[in-house]
Structure 1
């Protein structure tokens, strides 16, 4: 027994020692000296208390090579998994469950477009040279260090990162903005199966006069295919635990409206939460160049940034840059489709997807003159009608690399305007300010000219001119403002004013109106303190205005003192979402049950979920609530009496029953923070019990959908896991840019057990900020990179 216990103790000590050695070998190195090939001169990397590198180099090439090196040691697995998503290579490491996602991304032809974009690059341009240096740094770290822990778990064999990978990731970003895959099939189903009266609740107010409503004939199998396409497109990113870009807030205030007399810039892009967080912060300094930037995986150029002279933030434009097109097939030749009166051939190719633990899967990819056919996503059960994809990302020159290289150096209005013109897809709003006193906003996208009367909210008929594109509008026609008379600019994904119709899947105006209401107050002098309060605001008019036409009905149907008291609490609710709100919980449950009571009998299981996952539903529900005569209130296929009163009663009773069952019988326990929570999920944390190791949280979450602090969850029954929100919160007063404020939702590092893996998560959810330090900084540690062989 003694010998056995001694052996067990030795074995446990060895395992503990081995585990410690294993973990230590995976951690980033933030001090000491490392030889890095191809450096022309030593580079200093000083790390601050949040693990942010401040890189000082003698030239730009060394600067970007060093950025690639330190970015890789903190985020290599993130780089690997996002390039695999964009290029349709996830099943190779996750198995067959990711085949639908891989098939979707292969069908989008992102890999092919990345190859074309690489071919177009000027190989002598500074942007290309910088990208190559950055990728050299990434690959230098990968080849000289142990694989990340996730590589070991998944059995990933390292391979070099390329420019094609970087540009493929731009395609993933563009795809994540595209709402058409879910919205266009759902709205077309409503139009064709229910009729125009059922479309009145949807926000299609931008429609040109005389819009075309004649759609292509689709078979029952086509509708099933489209429903599957909508579902797969919704699940594609979440299935891999990869962030999706959702919305954003940004504003710039001129010096006449600030306490300091200099412009103030604020921004918080809204992106799905994940571990690691999407942005990698780094300050870059070389002779003639300095920038504190926020970088995506495999991108050397900051998507957000500032220095002492200027800064910018992004929001999503939300313009519709995707059209789904139903092609008419030649009955005598399935590889031909009818376009403008002529049969034209489909280009047919084969592709092979590697599958972990199984044989490679061969898929057939087809392309019509309108664009790729996306039916392969459905597999062998696809309907007979090919659905083509016209996508601006595939159809524009789109010099993104050069555009963002210039954005990173755009210290004047003229430079920023010129840089914005080079960003053609995805559509972005660039909100900018400089220390000289200028502010500006540009909607950056190449907007297609569609035939008059065509409504791209619906699936278009490829055999008619509906699907034609007549060119692109010039960038000068895009919505934009420079030094507006009001002294401020606000961008929050709402439909922008424009000289021509710009179809899009815009967010509700409520969030932008809430920001505008505060920013328009001429008595307020803005600084970083009151700007923090505005970024963290949890009030929206959406709930009260949706409830207003229903309160009379709710008062009639409420039974007993407790229910009547809950109705009166809703009547007095101002739309605020603090952690202790009961009304916020009750409203959100009621909103779902109201949507279900009104829409589900018409849409069924197949189309109800896709539709309520779209932005279109946000505008539709208040309109529905206000229209007592809407046909949606009728009960289809039932002998029960239909009407708004009956639907509201069913929804109310269902809401109370669900909350009592889920949160307890006492409404005092229905607090928002108990039902609305945030967990930051790692791709490996999607699998139990790895969630206990890799995920971060759970945290009670204030805010909600379409409030300034836009911590959003899907419409559905309680509880509500938060899916997306501010991916960072930034505030820069150009009177003292060195005191800019920022926060990371989780931490700077993506390496498990590193001290910066989750060190900002608590501060983030509780609304605290840290300094985005501009050099020289008080370094916690210094890594010195020196030229090596």
Structure 2
């Protein structure tokens, strides 16, 4: 027996030794790719030495004798810290993820190939101006210098993920940067889903007039829109309400399930806040600007902070690895920020297929052949997949399985898409580079005429003034359009087709407004008739009210008051809706014993009655409110819409307000059609609160005071590839308890579905506040860290500051950057 025990002990000891040895081996190989920031390196492609000074937050400050070499240094720095992210973004837009990840990413590749964005990026390279072409070439050379160094010195393949997903890495090309810009257009666009949703809802409602309730227009004059069945012959009313089976690899919205998919789920399209104050509204007498663009969270964040010392002066702010420009930031002369404009830059068309020849479709001149070509997707550990890509005069043809197009496509038709991002002469990157060189507002507005897609609202501040300009191509539509771009339209009808683009002068522009303040929270900012309306589907109807209150309660503002507004978590929506939906419930009913549903409801109502609407992570009230509103909307719409109600994963406050104020008879939504009694809105409000409390108590218990909003509303910065891998996910995912919510200025957009619908998945991955009275007191922050390497201390070091609402200096003082640097990389010409 003792002999057996000794052998078991030896085996166990050997296994422990081998495990430790394996862990040390993995750590050694992974750590080889950790960049050394303090070194001198000789590289090809430089005309003079370049210095990359890393400050204490690992923000690179790039110094060189020429602008071309500065962009070379930025490319090298991006590749040092975010190589895996850059390569993955490039593969995504190329439709080549499956070469590395196998069949699970095939749905992403199929859809990206159909849009053909990478080919369009290659075609756009010659369209760039000379300065941008030089920047693109130099930037690519900098990335390739890092790749050459990795190969020469065996630096762990450049990133730990490269060991797990081994695949050749091609040299970086100028087209790659343009393609990643186009990928951003994908992530910011929800117009296609909006058109399909409106058509599906139109086909499902018992009364066409109810469409204005459930999909209300932003405040302003309501636009009378036809029902989808009126404009689409052959489509069957009610058909969309049939529950659709999800195609392989697609979710219930017809979008790829993969965590690498760039296609946003409903409610997670681009958003942002930007606001500015003129000297007359600034305590210091200088202009102020704040910006926090909102995108889906990931680890690392999409944003990367950098400073470029160009010949005319320094530029500092947020970049996206792969793109050689500061997208939101400041120079010595100018500050700029971006918000999604929600410009309607995409239309869906139904193309009639020739019943005699399926290779032809109807045009205004008669039948014409589809433009077709084959595309082969190589799949790791699987057979190659061949796609037939088809285009019409309107744009690429998409399968009915994607975006749930089949539910709104008449028999004998296919869907195609016109979209400004499908330009073969996309000069958006030239606009971004030109913006860095602009010395005042006028030059900035002129430079961004080249911006094509995605459309943005550009907020500007120079030494003496402020402005906002909508940038991006605006489609010219016929005033006689059948659907005004709100619904899929017949593709061969001339009045439905685009007629080129509107002149840049027609893009909305606001310069030095009389009140001295400018702001945009994706809200409706202009009221022009179709076809110069900008959009019917604005991104915000709620945050703007809170912003206006914060701005108007002060005569003058400071950097700190702008920071306060960026971090504000008071929900205007909660303050306005709770008195409406609870007006017949507050402090009513007989006393109820402890432990009964009636007592739980009374306790919840007491808490909510005394709440000020602050979505603080430490409070229970935000969870009670959010769960109640979620259950309430579900109760209101399920009987009218059936399975189409699944499309509505976020609460629409304007819809709830219309119902409880009975605007245009919207109270009818409160009556449950399938029941005999006639329910009132108070009945539905009470039942919904009970449903929400039951959901909460089953998961978290009946002690309402112990609930914490932040336990559910965690910011989910998950690694898009390793985030679901057991054990590894604890090292690569960054989860943080956060305040805010769907409709607060410090926006934390919830996922809306799944086991925890309140998980925070979309928000301000970058925040910046620029003070032109004292530019070096400007500040910024990102939501994770600069490095994409999980073993780096800079992988998540900025995340805790971001969660606490803290910032780091945004200074162009070279001495300050050098004083406490974590390393200086010197690149010398070979």
Q: Taking structure 1 as reference, are residues 339 and 13 closer, same or farther at Cα in structure 2, changes over 3 Å only?
A: closer
- Distance in 1 (alpha carbons) for counterparts of 2:640 and 2:767: 41
| Residue 626 (1) aligns with residue 661 (2) | yes
Q: Compared with structure 1, are the counterparts of its residues 618 and 645 closer, same or farther at alpha carbon in structure 2 (3 Å cutoff)?
A: closer
**Residue 462 of structure 2 corresponds to which residue in structure 1?**
434
1:507 equivalent in structure 2: 539
- In the TM superposition, what is the alpha-carbon distance from 1:773 to its structure 2 partner? 2.7
1:399 is aligned to 427
Match of 2:476 in 1: 449
| Superposition pairs of residues 472-621 of structure 1, within 5 angstroms | 472-499=501-528, 500-521=532-553, 523-555=554-586, 560-605=598-643, 607-612=644-649, 617-621=652-656
Change (3 A) 1:395 1:52: closer
Q: Report 1:361-376 matches (<5 A).
A: 361-375=385-399
Pair 1:710 & 2:757 matched: no
- In the alignment, which of 116, 120, 123 is matched to residue 116 of structure 1? 123
Distance in 1, matches of 2:390 and 2:240, equals 19
Q: Which residue of 2 aligns with 1:756?
A: 794
Change (3 A) 1:222 1:449: farther
The residue aligned with 1:735 is 773
Task: Give the alignment partner of residue 179 of structure 2, picking from 160, 168, 173.
Answer: 168
Whole-Å separation in 2 of the counterparts to 1:688 and 1:378: 27
Q: Show the counterpart of 1:785.
A: 826
Query: Partner residue of 1:672?
Result: 709
**Separation of aligned partners in 1, 2:12 and 2:252:** 55
* CA distance in 1 between partners of 2:428 and 2:160 (Å): 33
- Give how far 1:3 is off: 8.3
Equivalent residue runs for 1:368-387 within 5 Å: 368-375=392-399, 378=402, 384=411, 385-387=413-415
Provide the rounded CA distance (Å) in 2 between the counterparts of 1:575 and 1:694. 35
One of 638, 658, 663 as aligned partner of 2:700: 663
Aligned partner of residue 722 in structure 2, secondary structure:
helix
Contact 2:187–2:263, Cα closer than 8 Å, also in 1: no
C-alpha distance after superposition, 1:186-245 (max 9, x if no partner): 111121232422212122367886645432133659987898788456556744489975
Whole-Å separation in 1 of the counterparts to 2:341 and 2:517: 18
For normalisation by structure 1, the TM-score amounts to: 0.92
2:468 and 2:690 mapped to 1: Cα distance?
Answer: 47
The Cα of 1:10 is off from its aligned counterpart by 6.7
For each residue in 1:447-469, what CA deviation from the matched residue of structure 2 results, as whole angstroms up to 9, or x when unmatched?
A: 12222253322121224345212
Decide whether aligned partners of structure 1 residues 234 and 554 sit closer, same or farther in structure 2, where only a CA change above 3 A counts.
farther
- Cα distance, 1:250–1:82 mapped onto 2, change above 3 Å: same
CA–CA separation in structure 1 for the residues paired with 2:280 and 2:708: 42
Q: In the TM superposition, what is the alpha-carbon distance from 1:564 to its structure 2 partner? A: 2.4
| Distance verdict in 2 for CA 1:690–1:235, change over 3 Å | farther
Unaligned runs of 5+ in 2: 1-5, 591-596
Evaluate the alpha carbon distance shift between residue 693 and residue 666 of structure 1 in structure 2; reply closer, same or farther with a 3 A threshold.
closer
Is residue 241–residue 686 contact of structure 1 (8 Å, CA) maintained in 2?
A: no
Counterpart-to-counterpart distance in 2, 1:419 and 1:498: 26
Query: What is the CA RMSD across the aligned residues, in angstroms?
Result: 2.9
TM-aligned CA distance change 1:430 to 1:669, over 3 Å: same
Q: Is the 8 A contact 2:455 2:470 kept in 1?
A: yes
> 29-38 or 569-578: which moved more?
569-578
**Equivalent residue, structure 1, for 2:499:** 470
Aligned partner of 1:156 in structure 2 is 167
Q: Does the alignment pair 1:257 with 2:252?
A: no
1:196 to 2:208 alignment: yes
Aligned match of 1:93: 100
CA gap of 1:476–1:27, structure 2 versus 1, over 3 A, is: same
Q: Distance in 2 between matches of 1:748 and 1:183?
A: 35
Q: Secondary structure at the match of 2:231?
A: coil
SS in 2 for 1:685: coil
Per the alignment, residue 720 of structure 1 pairs with 758
> Number of paired residues?
782
Deviates further, 494-503 or 651-660? 494-503
Which residue in 1 is equivalent to 2:440?
A: 412
Please name the residue that 1:180 is paired with.
Answer: 191
SS of alignment partner, residue 364 of structure 1: strand
Deviation at residue 766 of structure 1 after TM alignment? 1.2
Separation in 2, partners of 1:29, 1:763: 25
Look up the match of 1:323: 347
Specify every segment of 5 or more residues in structure 1 that has no aligned partner in the other structure, as ranges. Answer: none
Q: Deviations over 1:708-739 (max 9, x none)?
A: 11012133575621011111111111122112
Q: 1:39 to 1:331 in 2, by over 3 A?
A: same
**8 A Cα contact 1:740 1:772, kept in partner:** yes
Describe the superposition over 1:509-541 as per-residue Cα deviations: whole angstroms up to 9, x where unpaired.
Answer: 3212211222234x4432222222111100122
Classify 1:687/1:29 alpha carbon distance in 2 versus 1 (closer, same or farther; 3 Å).
Answer: same
Structure 2 Cα separation of the partners of residues 423 and 701 of structure 1: 35
Q: Distance in 1 between matches of 2:403 and 2:201?
A: 25
